[in-house]
């Protein structure tokens, strides 16, 4: 069994996951840019039951997604402000973790088989897609949840 801990910058909020992610999303949307203060976010997605808060109690900010119109709940430390994870009205049984908040941010696999890059059209500086990975100009699904066909490039795609 996997037991991977993580938490906020000050240590007041701690969590762990007990399974590998279902998939990993690298997102370049404006929300992820603003939420991370950089060009995008790497977000491993988990089934909700494998995630647990082990110390502290996060505050929650509810954001209405520009893409789906549905709520995204941003969970963060009340002391230092670090955002640790997201929950979604659209997918109530799933949870996304800000990868950089794991004690070992590189513990999970990030491969063409389990990962995708989304919102390429919103990407800024330093953004790229490795060869062989699934890529989407916007979201990977329509508002009603219908999956879209990815682009797969045979070379590294530098976005800006």
Confidence class of residue 36 from pLDDT cuts 50, 70 and 90?
Answer: very high
CATH architecture of 4-158: Beta Complex (2.170)
Q: Is 35 left (phi over 0), alpha (psi -120 to 50) or beta?
A: alpha
Q: Where are the domains of the chain?
A: 4-158
Nearest CA to 42 among 101, 82, 113, 1?
101
Separation of alpha carbons 108 and 6, rounded Å: 13
- 75 in Cβ contact with 84 (< 8 Å): yes
Q: Stretch 9-34: mean pLDDT, rounded?
A: 97
Q: For residue range 86-144, list pLDDT tens digits in order.
A: 999 999 999 999 999 999 999 999 999 999 999 999 998 788 999 999 999 999 988 88
pLDDT computed for residue 1 by the predictor? 60
The structure's pTM equals: 0.93
Helices and strands: H and E segment counts in the chain: 1, 14
């Amino acid at each position: 069994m996997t037991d991977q801990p993580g938490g906020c910058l000050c240590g007041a909020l701690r969590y762990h996951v007990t399974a590998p992610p279902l998939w990993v999303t690298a997102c370049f949307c404006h929300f992820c840019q603003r939420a991370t203060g950089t060009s995008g976010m790497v977000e491993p997605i988990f089934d909700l039951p494998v995630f647990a808060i082990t110390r502290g109690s996060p505050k929650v900010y509810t954001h209405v997604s520009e893409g789906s119109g549905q709520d995204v709940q941003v969970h963060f430390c009340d002391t230092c402000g670090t955002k640790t994870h997201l929950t979604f009205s659209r997918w109530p049984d799933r949870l996304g973790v800000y990868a950089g908040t794991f004690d070992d941010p590189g513990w999970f696999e990030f491969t063409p088989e389990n990962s995708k890059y989304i919102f390429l059209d919103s990407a800024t500086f330093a953004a790229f897609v490795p060869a062989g990975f699934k890529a989407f100009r916007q979201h990977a699904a329509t508002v009603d949840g219908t999956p879209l066909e990815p682009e797969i490039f045979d070379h590294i795609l530098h976005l800006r």
